[in-house]
């Protein structure tokens, strides 16, 4: 019997986007500074990847201020949670038990 591999979501099949989604799936929300610290990403790259996830409806971005400093908070959406679960389920199809 030949193996059946489920299709991996190309949007989540990026190391940084997957890290962002994994973090938000666990915490539900996090600010830009925290995500940058945890992932080790540059500000520019993180900003681009967050925008891609937001455009797909996987996360919601809220921009505001904390005192006089700008603050960006990211939250995972129900669509993002579902996509993350599908991705994880599809990924499991690539691992076979002996």
40: which 2 tokens? Answer: 């080790």
pLDDT in the model for residue 3: 66
* Rounded-to-integer distance, Cα 88 and Cα 98, Å: 20
H or E element that contains 75:
strand 69-76
pLDDT tops 70 at residue 98 = no
Q: What domains can be seen in the chain, in order of their start residue?
A: 15-90 (1.10.10.10)
pTM comes to 0.89
77: which 2 tokens? Answer: 């959406």
**Tens digit of pLDDT for each residue in 11-69?**
999 999 999 999 999 998 999 999 999 999 999 999 999 999 999 999 999 999 989 99
């Amino acid at each position: 019997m030949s193996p059946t591999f489920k299709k991996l979501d190309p949007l989540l099949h990026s190391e940084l986007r997957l890290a962002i989604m994994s973090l938000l799936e666990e915490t539900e929300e996090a600010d830009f500074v925290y995500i940058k610290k945890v992932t080790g990403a540059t500000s520019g790259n993180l900003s681009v990847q967050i925008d891609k996830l937001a455009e797909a409806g996987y996360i919601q971005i809220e921009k505001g201020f904390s005192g006089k400093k700008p603050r960006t908070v990211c939250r995972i959406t129900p669509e993002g949670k579902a996509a993350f679960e599908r991705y994880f389920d599809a990924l499991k199809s690539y691992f076979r038990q002996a």
